[in-house]
């Protein structure tokens, strides 16, 4: 932790990175950065202005021609150096995530490990961007394709995964030959600065990677800037749609990940002990603050009381506390006071609509940190607001259904489409669930079916706006465009042109 606290001391007044130089924002306003476990302010993020964006985009634009001309294997050399620096600093980065986000240290390690895997994937860029070719496409003619970078790309990342989500974006973008401007959440800027500092140490040329900070003004300035070619975003569905509309209306490529309401169905034949562990981890891991959180549990007839009894016992055994001082806690705080209050209001409203609070997380008393205990809301029905709304906190809604068919039908009414999981020993039920659920990521006895770096993070419906998803080969396609080359080799061409 000492390295992380030293870094905070260095960057307590959060700077921008423009052209490999740390510089101040033109804004005088700031947003506090908290240690959520203790409610202490540890840094101040500048609110940011459009001029900050223009400086960063200009630096990226100036760096683009020379960076795009660097051969792919040479770009990979820099990413390999970056990978080694990440490996050396991984524990320090994990502590940084814990300090500014509130995750447990093991959750923070998972956050940076998943980002690290994307860097490893991007190191294979020379292979990943190879084109196709066909000799003798026509008489005396060959055809081939090439993938080329777009230009200046932008990443706008959320607070809940300070390392992983940003690293879904920039390693692939710069590996493909683009330059990049990152706007991390103003609530967790320090992890992004740590990642940026290591890129500078890896000898990434000036201007290839830049960092700006701020809220709505900065986001919208990035979305409408005429020199930005592509935008990657992860956040709420409301803002994802706004980013998508702003960017695409100006001819930019956009991939915008939004919110979710992920359903877990426990069938009567499931291994209840294994399913309980998976459901608890999915619902309350990262304090429920993730777009793959298993926030809705559907239990068809036959699952009922036996499973719920095991679930209540498991929830009661979860330890909640200061993640920066107690290494053995299993759940930390939510990000800040407004988030805690919003989640508490959601619980109150659900109970007012008829839900039964089997376990009420509002009973947790803490005068400093932003804590809630896990909440179990039983007898939730589709006409309740909590059934449809993303809570983004440690709240699990329990819906009683009659059959698997009814569970699928109700789940498919939800507006989102990230993930869904079924717990069963029956292959036919699993196949039916996988084929009929209208979402992009399916788990069979897997609590959080979030794909690794070689596959796309494949949200549907209001969980994603765009065509090409983050990560994997879709990420490569998003950050490049294709050129087709036709070559004619007949001797008449030489004679006609006087050779």
Half-sphere exposure of 215 (CA within 13 A, CB side): 10
Quote the CA–CA distance of 363 and 71 in Å, as a whole number: 58
- Phi, psi torsion values for 375, nearest 5 degrees: -115, 135
Quote the CA–CA distance of 101 and 42 in Å, as a whole number: 11
CB 86 within 8 A of CB 136: no
The residues facing 487 across adjacent strands are 142
Quote the CA–CA distance of 356 and 358 in Å, as a whole number: 6
Running DSSP on this structure, what letter comes out for residue 361?
A: G
Running DSSP on this structure, what letter comes out for residue 135?
A: E
Catalytic residue from among 123, 176, 223, 291: 291
Helices 72-101 and 189-201 cross at an angle (nearest 10°) of 150
Tokens of 191: 């992890």
Percent of the chain that is helix, strand, coil (3-state, to 5): 45, 20, 35
Calculate ∠ Cα 256-24-254, nearest 5°: 15
CB 189 within 8 A of CB 33: yes
Quote the CA–CA distance of 484 and 400 in Å, as a whole number: 55
Helices 189-201 and 164-175 cross at an angle (nearest 10°) of 30
How many C-beta neighbours within 10 Å does residue 41 have? Answer: 11
Q: Is 291 a catalytic residue?
A: yes
- Residue 123's contacts (CB-CB under 8 Å, 6 or more residues apart) are 76, 79, 80, 83, 175
Positive or negative CA dihedral for 380, 381, 382, 383? Answer: negative
The dihedral region occupied by 151, where left means phi > 0, alpha psi between -120 and 50, and beta the remainder, is left
For the chain, first and last CA: distance in Å? 70
Q: Just list the catalytic residues.
A: 291
């Amino acid at each position: 932790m000492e390295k992380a606290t030293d870094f905070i001391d260095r960057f307590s007044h959060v700077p921008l990175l423009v052209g490999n130089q740390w510089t101040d924002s033109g804004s005088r306003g700031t947003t506090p950065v908290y240690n959520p476990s203790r409610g202490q302010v540890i840094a101040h993020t500048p609110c940011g202005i459009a001029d900050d964006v223009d400086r960063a985009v200009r630096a990226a634009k100036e760096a683009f021609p020379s960076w795009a001309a660097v051969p792919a294997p040479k770009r990979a050399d820099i990413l390999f150096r970056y990978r080694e620096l990440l490996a050396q600093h991984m524990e320090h980065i994990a502590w940084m995530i814990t300090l500014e986000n509130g995750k447990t240290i093991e959750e923070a390690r998972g956050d940076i490990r998943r980002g690290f895997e994307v860097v490893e994937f991007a190191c294979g860029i020379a292979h990943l961007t190879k084109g196709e070719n066909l000799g003798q496409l026509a008489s005396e003619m060959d055809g081939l394709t090439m993938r080329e970078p777009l230009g200046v790309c932008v990443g706008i990342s959320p607070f809940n995964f300070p390392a992983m989500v940003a690293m879904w974006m920039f390693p692939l973008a710069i590996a493909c030959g683009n330059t990049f401007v990152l706007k991390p959440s103003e609530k967790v800027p320090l992890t992004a600065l740590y990642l940026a500092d290591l890129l500078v140490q890896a000898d990434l040329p000036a201007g290839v990677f830049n960092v700006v900070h701020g809220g709505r003004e900065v986001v919208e300035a990035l979305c409408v800037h005429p020199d930005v070619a592509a935008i990657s975003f992860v956040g709420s569905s409301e803002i994802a749609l706004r980013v998508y509309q702003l960017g695409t209306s100006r001819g930019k490529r956009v991939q915008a990940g939004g919110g979710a309401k992920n359903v877990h169905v426990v069938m009567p034949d499931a291994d209840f002990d294994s399913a309980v562990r998976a459901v608890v981890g999915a619902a309350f891991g990262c304090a429920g603050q993730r777009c793959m959180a298993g926030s809705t549990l559907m239990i068809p007839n036959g699952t009922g009381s036996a499973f719920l009894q095991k679930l209540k016992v498991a929830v009661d055994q979860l330890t909640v506390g200061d993640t920066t001082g107690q290494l053995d806690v299993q759940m930390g705080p939510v990000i800040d006071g407004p988030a805690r209050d919003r989640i508490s209001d959601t619980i109150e409203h659900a109970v007012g609509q008829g839900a039964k609070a089997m376990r009420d997380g509002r009973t947790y008393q803490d005068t400093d940190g932003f804590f809630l205990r896990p909440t179990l809301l039983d007898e939730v029905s589709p006409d309740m607001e909590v059934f449809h709304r993303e809570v983004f906190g440690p709240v699990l809604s329990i819906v009683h259904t009659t059959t698997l068919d009814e569970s699928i039908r109700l789940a498919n009414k939800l507006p989102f489409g990230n993930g869904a999981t079924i717990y069963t020993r029956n292959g036919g039920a699993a196949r039916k669930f996988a084929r009929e659920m209208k979402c992009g990521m399916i788990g069979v006895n897997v609590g959080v079916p979030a794909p690794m770096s070689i596959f796309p993070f494949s949200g549907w419906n209001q969980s994603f706006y765009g065509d090409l998803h983050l990560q994997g080969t879709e990420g490569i396609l998003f950050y490049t465009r294709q050129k087709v080359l036709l070559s004619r080799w007949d001797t008449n061409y030489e004679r006609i042109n006087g050779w």
